[in-house]
Protein backbone atom coordinates (compact mmCIF):
# COMPACT_ATOMS: atom_id res chain seq x y z
CA UNK A 1 0.00 0.00 0.00
CA UNK A 2 1.18 3.59 -0.55
CA UNK A 3 1.92 5.85 2.39
CA UNK A 4 -1.32 6.93 4.02
CA UNK A 5 -1.48 9.77 6.53
CA UNK A 6 -3.67 9.34 9.59
CA UNK A 7 -3.95 10.90 13.01
CA UNK A 8 -4.60 9.48 16.46
CA UNK A 9 -7.62 10.55 18.54
CA UNK A 10 -5.34 11.05 21.54
CA UNK A 11 -4.72 14.53 20.10
CA UNK A 12 -8.34 15.29 21.05
CA UNK A 13 -9.18 12.99 23.98
CA UNK A 14 -6.65 11.26 26.22
CA UNK A 15 -7.27 7.60 27.04
CA UNK A 16 -5.04 7.69 30.14
CA UNK A 17 -6.56 10.86 31.61
CA UNK A 18 -10.22 11.28 30.61
CA UNK A 19 -10.15 14.84 31.97
CA UNK A 20 -8.05 15.88 28.98
CA UNK A 21 -10.55 16.54 26.22
CA UNK A 22 -13.57 15.39 28.20
CA UNK A 23 -15.70 18.07 26.54
CA UNK A 24 -14.78 16.91 23.01
CA UNK A 25 -17.21 14.47 21.39
CA UNK A 26 -16.39 11.54 19.12
CA UNK A 27 -18.17 13.33 16.27
CA UNK A 28 -16.10 16.48 16.71
CA UNK A 29 -12.92 14.45 16.85
CA UNK A 30 -13.41 12.55 13.59
CA UNK A 31 -14.94 15.52 11.77
CA UNK A 32 -11.88 17.63 12.53
CA UNK A 33 -9.56 14.80 11.47
CA UNK A 34 -11.30 14.76 8.10
CA UNK A 35 -11.36 18.54 7.83
CA UNK A 36 -7.59 18.63 8.36
CA UNK A 37 -7.06 16.23 5.45
CA UNK A 38 -6.33 12.88 7.12
CA UNK A 39 -7.60 9.55 5.77
CA UNK A 40 -7.03 7.34 8.80
CA UNK A 41 -7.57 7.14 12.53
CA UNK A 42 -6.76 4.82 15.37
CA UNK A 43 -9.36 3.64 17.89
CA UNK A 44 -10.12 6.09 20.71
CA UNK A 45 -11.77 5.77 24.09
CA UNK A 46 -14.91 7.61 22.91
CA UNK A 47 -15.32 5.62 19.71
CA UNK A 48 -18.45 3.43 19.55
CA UNK A 49 -17.70 -0.28 19.71
CA UNK A 50 -20.62 -1.27 17.49
CA UNK A 51 -19.05 -2.11 14.13
CA UNK A 52 -21.88 -0.83 11.93
CA UNK A 53 -22.13 2.47 13.82
CA UNK A 54 -18.39 3.14 13.80
CA UNK A 55 -17.97 2.12 10.17
CA UNK A 56 -20.77 4.44 9.07
CA UNK A 57 -19.37 7.41 11.01
CA UNK A 58 -15.86 6.91 9.62
CA UNK A 59 -16.99 6.22 6.06
CA UNK A 60 -19.05 9.41 5.99
CA UNK A 61 -15.87 11.36 6.71
CA UNK A 62 -13.55 9.45 4.41
CA UNK A 63 -11.68 7.84 7.30
CA UNK A 64 -10.40 4.30 7.76
CA UNK A 65 -9.55 2.60 11.05
CA UNK A 66 -5.84 1.84 10.80
CA UNK A 67 -5.08 0.16 14.11
CA UNK A 68 -5.61 0.18 17.85
CA UNK A 69 -3.54 -0.17 21.01
CA UNK A 70 -3.65 -3.49 22.86
CA UNK A 71 -2.09 -3.89 26.31
CA UNK A 72 -0.57 -7.29 27.03
CA UNK A 73 0.26 -8.58 30.53
CA UNK A 74 2.21 -11.70 29.69
CA UNK A 75 4.84 -10.99 32.36
CA UNK A 76 2.13 -11.27 35.04
CA UNK A 77 1.36 -15.00 35.51
CA UNK A 78 -2.11 -14.19 36.81
CA UNK A 79 -3.06 -12.38 33.59
CA UNK A 80 -1.48 -14.54 30.89
CA UNK A 81 -4.61 -16.47 29.91
CA UNK A 82 -6.82 -13.41 30.33
CA UNK A 83 -4.57 -11.50 27.92
CA UNK A 84 -5.03 -14.23 25.30
CA UNK A 85 -8.80 -14.12 25.76
CA UNK A 86 -8.96 -10.32 25.50
CA UNK A 87 -6.80 -10.46 22.39
CA UNK A 88 -9.29 -12.72 20.60
CA UNK A 89 -12.10 -10.23 21.26
CA UNK A 90 -9.92 -7.32 20.15
CA UNK A 91 -8.81 -9.12 17.00
CA UNK A 92 -12.39 -9.94 16.06
CA UNK A 93 -13.44 -6.29 16.36
CA UNK A 94 -10.46 -4.97 14.42
CA UNK A 95 -10.98 -7.48 11.60
CA UNK A 96 -14.64 -6.54 11.38
CA UNK A 97 -13.56 -2.89 11.05
CA UNK A 98 -11.21 -3.71 8.20
CA UNK A 99 -8.03 -2.81 10.08
CA UNK A 100 -4.81 -4.69 9.36
CA UNK A 101 -2.66 -3.78 12.37
CA UNK A 102 -2.75 -4.12 16.15
CA UNK A 103 -0.34 -2.08 18.26
CA UNK A 104 0.79 -4.29 21.14
CA UNK A 105 2.65 -3.17 24.25
CA UNK A 106 3.59 -5.20 27.33
CA UNK A 107 2.20 -3.31 30.31
CA UNK A 108 3.07 -5.73 33.09
CA UNK A 109 4.55 -3.74 36.02
CA UNK A 110 4.33 -0.55 33.90
CA UNK A 111 4.64 2.81 35.67
CA UNK A 112 3.30 5.20 33.02
CA UNK A 113 -0.02 5.47 34.85
CA UNK A 114 1.50 6.00 38.31
CA UNK A 115 2.95 8.93 40.23
CA UNK A 116 6.49 7.55 39.88
CA UNK A 117 9.03 9.55 37.84
CA UNK A 118 8.74 8.25 34.30
CA UNK A 119 12.49 8.41 33.62
CA UNK A 120 13.71 6.60 36.69
CA UNK A 121 15.02 3.25 37.97
CA UNK A 122 11.41 2.38 38.90
CA UNK A 123 10.76 1.34 35.30
CA UNK A 124 10.19 -2.44 35.08
CA UNK A 125 13.22 -4.54 34.23
CA UNK A 126 12.11 -7.99 33.14
CA UNK A 127 13.72 -11.07 34.61
CA UNK A 128 14.77 -13.94 32.35
CA UNK A 129 11.55 -15.75 33.27
CA UNK A 130 9.43 -12.69 32.49
CA UNK A 131 11.14 -12.21 29.14
CA UNK A 132 10.43 -15.86 28.40
CA UNK A 133 6.73 -15.43 29.15
CA UNK A 134 6.57 -12.24 27.09
CA UNK A 135 8.21 -13.84 24.07
CA UNK A 136 5.96 -16.89 24.41
CA UNK A 137 2.84 -14.74 24.65
CA UNK A 138 3.74 -12.46 21.74
CA UNK A 139 4.43 -15.46 19.54
CA UNK A 140 1.10 -17.00 20.57
CA UNK A 141 -0.97 -13.93 19.61
CA UNK A 142 1.29 -13.35 16.61
CA UNK A 143 0.36 -16.76 15.23
CA UNK A 144 -3.33 -16.05 15.76
CA UNK A 145 -3.03 -12.66 14.04
CA UNK A 146 -1.08 -14.23 11.17
CA UNK A 147 -3.78 -16.84 10.63
CA UNK A 148 -6.33 -14.05 10.25
CA UNK A 149 -4.11 -11.93 7.98
CA UNK A 150 -3.51 -9.33 10.70
CA UNK A 151 -0.15 -7.87 11.71
CA UNK A 152 1.18 -7.24 15.23
CA UNK A 153 3.41 -4.18 15.56
CA UNK A 154 5.21 -3.71 18.87
CA UNK A 155 4.94 -0.26 20.47
CA UNK A 156 7.88 0.46 22.79
CA UNK A 157 6.70 2.96 25.39
CA UNK A 158 7.98 5.06 28.28
CA UNK A 159 7.41 3.45 31.67
CA UNK A 160 7.26 -0.11 30.35
CA UNK A 161 9.75 -2.97 30.22
CA UNK A 162 10.49 -2.38 26.52
CA UNK A 163 11.53 1.25 26.17
CA UNK A 164 15.29 1.63 25.83
CA UNK A 165 17.21 0.61 22.74
CA UNK A 166 18.82 -2.48 24.27
CA UNK A 167 15.33 -3.71 25.25
CA UNK A 168 13.98 -3.14 21.74
CA UNK A 169 17.03 -4.97 20.37
CA UNK A 170 16.45 -7.93 22.66
CA UNK A 171 12.79 -8.14 21.67
CA UNK A 172 13.57 -7.99 17.96
CA UNK A 173 16.43 -10.51 18.21
CA UNK A 174 14.26 -13.04 20.03
CA UNK A 175 10.98 -12.84 18.13
CA UNK A 176 9.92 -14.12 14.73
CA UNK A 177 9.80 -11.43 12.00
CA UNK A 178 6.79 -13.26 10.55
CA UNK A 179 4.84 -12.93 13.81
CA UNK A 180 5.94 -9.59 15.28
CA UNK A 181 6.90 -6.34 13.58
CA UNK A 182 7.96 -3.00 15.02
CA UNK A 183 6.06 0.24 15.40
CA UNK A 184 8.41 3.19 14.97
CA UNK A 185 7.38 5.91 17.43
CA UNK A 186 9.62 8.94 16.94
CA UNK A 187 8.48 10.64 20.14
CA UNK A 188 9.06 7.73 22.49
CA UNK A 189 12.39 7.05 20.77
CA UNK A 190 13.51 10.61 21.53
CA UNK A 191 12.13 10.26 25.07
CA UNK A 192 14.49 7.28 25.52
CA UNK A 193 17.44 9.09 23.88
CA UNK A 194 17.19 6.81 20.84
CA UNK A 195 17.90 8.12 17.35
CA UNK A 196 15.00 7.01 15.17
CA UNK A 197 17.42 6.73 12.25
CA UNK A 198 19.28 3.97 14.11
CA UNK A 199 16.05 2.00 14.53
CA UNK A 200 15.18 2.45 10.86
CA UNK A 201 18.64 1.32 9.74
CA UNK A 202 18.49 -1.77 11.96
CA UNK A 203 14.87 -2.78 11.57
CA UNK A 204 13.58 -1.22 8.36
CA UNK A 205 12.27 -4.59 7.13
CA UNK A 206 10.28 -5.03 10.35
CA UNK A 207 8.93 -1.48 10.69
CA UNK A 208 5.41 -1.79 9.33
CA UNK A 209 3.72 1.07 11.17
CA UNK A 210 4.84 4.59 12.14
CA UNK A 211 3.80 7.11 14.80
CA UNK A 212 5.03 10.61 13.97
CA UNK A 213 5.33 12.41 17.28
CA UNK A 214 7.53 15.42 18.09
CA UNK A 215 9.06 16.38 21.40
CA UNK A 216 9.71 19.71 23.11
CA UNK A 217 13.33 19.54 24.28
CA UNK A 218 12.95 22.16 26.99
CA UNK A 219 10.02 20.29 28.53
CA UNK A 220 11.88 16.98 28.31
CA UNK A 221 14.72 18.56 30.29
CA UNK A 222 12.19 19.59 32.94
CA UNK A 223 10.78 16.06 33.00
CA UNK A 224 14.26 14.74 33.74
CA UNK A 225 15.29 17.45 36.21
CA UNK A 226 11.99 17.59 38.11
CA UNK A 227 11.44 13.80 38.10
CA UNK A 228 7.98 14.17 36.56
CA UNK A 229 5.56 11.29 36.12
CA UNK A 230 4.27 10.48 32.65
CA UNK A 231 0.93 12.26 32.70
CA UNK A 232 2.44 15.38 34.28
CA UNK A 233 4.96 15.34 31.44
CA UNK A 234 2.10 15.10 28.93
CA UNK A 235 0.19 17.94 30.61
CA UNK A 236 3.36 20.05 30.57
CA UNK A 237 3.56 19.55 26.80
CA UNK A 238 6.52 17.23 26.39
CA UNK A 239 4.96 15.89 23.16
CA UNK A 240 3.69 17.83 20.17
CA UNK A 241 2.95 17.31 16.47
CA UNK A 242 5.66 16.94 13.80
CA UNK A 243 7.19 20.25 12.85
CA UNK A 244 6.47 21.87 16.21
CA UNK A 245 9.29 20.43 18.30
CA UNK A 246 12.95 19.45 18.34
CA UNK A 247 12.94 16.34 16.12
CA UNK A 248 14.24 16.74 12.59
CA UNK A 249 11.71 14.73 10.57
CA UNK A 250 13.25 15.34 7.16
CA UNK A 251 16.00 12.68 7.45
CA UNK A 252 13.56 10.29 9.16
CA UNK A 253 11.05 10.49 6.33
CA UNK A 254 13.80 10.34 3.70
CA UNK A 255 15.27 7.24 5.36
CA UNK A 256 11.87 5.54 5.46
CA UNK A 257 11.37 6.41 1.79
CA UNK A 258 14.86 5.11 0.96
CA UNK A 259 13.88 1.77 2.47
CA UNK A 260 10.60 1.93 0.51
CA UNK A 261 8.37 2.15 3.55
CA UNK A 262 4.72 1.88 2.63
CA UNK A 263 1.65 1.97 4.83
CA UNK A 264 0.38 4.12 7.63
CA UNK A 265 2.04 7.16 9.14
CA UNK A 266 0.01 8.34 12.12
CA UNK A 267 0.39 11.80 13.62
CA UNK A 268 0.28 11.41 17.39
CA UNK A 269 0.83 14.07 20.04
CA UNK A 270 -0.45 13.56 23.55
CA UNK A 271 -1.27 17.10 24.64
CA UNK A 272 -3.78 19.01 26.70
CA UNK A 273 -6.33 20.09 24.04
CA UNK A 274 -7.13 23.17 26.11
CA UNK A 275 -3.54 24.35 25.57
CA UNK A 276 -3.05 22.90 22.09
CA UNK A 277 -6.29 23.19 20.05
CA UNK A 278 -6.49 19.83 18.24
CA UNK A 279 -7.73 21.03 14.86
CA UNK A 280 -5.10 23.76 14.62
CA UNK A 281 -2.32 21.34 15.53
CA UNK A 282 -3.70 18.65 13.22
CA UNK A 283 -3.58 21.10 10.32
CA UNK A 284 -0.13 22.28 11.32
CA UNK A 285 1.21 18.70 11.20
CA UNK A 286 -0.59 17.91 7.94
CA UNK A 287 0.79 20.98 6.18
CA UNK A 288 4.29 20.25 7.49
CA UNK A 289 4.26 16.61 6.37
CA UNK A 290 2.80 17.36 2.95
CA UNK A 291 6.10 19.01 2.05
CA UNK A 292 7.75 15.58 2.16
CA UNK A 293 4.97 13.11 1.39
CA UNK A 294 3.06 12.76 -1.83
CA UNK A 295 -0.54 13.82 -1.44
CA UNK A 296 -2.98 10.95 -1.36
pLDDT in tens, 252-278: 999 999 999 999 999 998 999 999 999
DSSP string covering 84-111, please? HHHHHHHHHHHHHTT--EEEEEE-TT--
Q: Where do the structural domains in the chain lie, given as residue ranges?
A: 4-294
> Can you give the pTM of this predicted structure?
0.96
Question: Which of 135, 189, 180, 186 lies closest to 153, judged by CA?
Answer: 180
Burial class (CB in 10 A: 0-12, 13-18, 19+), 29: buried
- State the greatest distance between any 2 C-alpha atoms of the chain, in Å, as a whole number: 49
Distance CA 285, CA 266 (A): 10
> What pLDDT shows up at residue 295?
42
Closest CA to 42 of 243, 275, 211, 240: 211
Stretches where the chain sits below pLDDT 70 are 1, 294-296
How high is the pLDDT of residue 296? Answer: 39
Say what the pLDDT of residue 2 is: 85
Number of residues that this document lists for the chain: 296
CATH topology of domain 4-294: TIM Barrel (3.20.20)
Residue 267 has, within 13 A of its CA and on its CB side, a CA count of: 30
Residue 81, classed as helix, strand or coil, is helix
Amino acid sequence: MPIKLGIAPINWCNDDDPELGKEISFEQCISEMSAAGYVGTELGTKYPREVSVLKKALNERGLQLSSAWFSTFFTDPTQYEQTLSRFMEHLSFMRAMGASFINVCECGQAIQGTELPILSPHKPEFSEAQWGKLLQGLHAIGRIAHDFNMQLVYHYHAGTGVFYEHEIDYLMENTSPQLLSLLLDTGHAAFADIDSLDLINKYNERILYVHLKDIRAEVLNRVKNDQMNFMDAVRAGVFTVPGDGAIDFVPIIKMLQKHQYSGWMIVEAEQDPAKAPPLAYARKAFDFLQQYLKKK
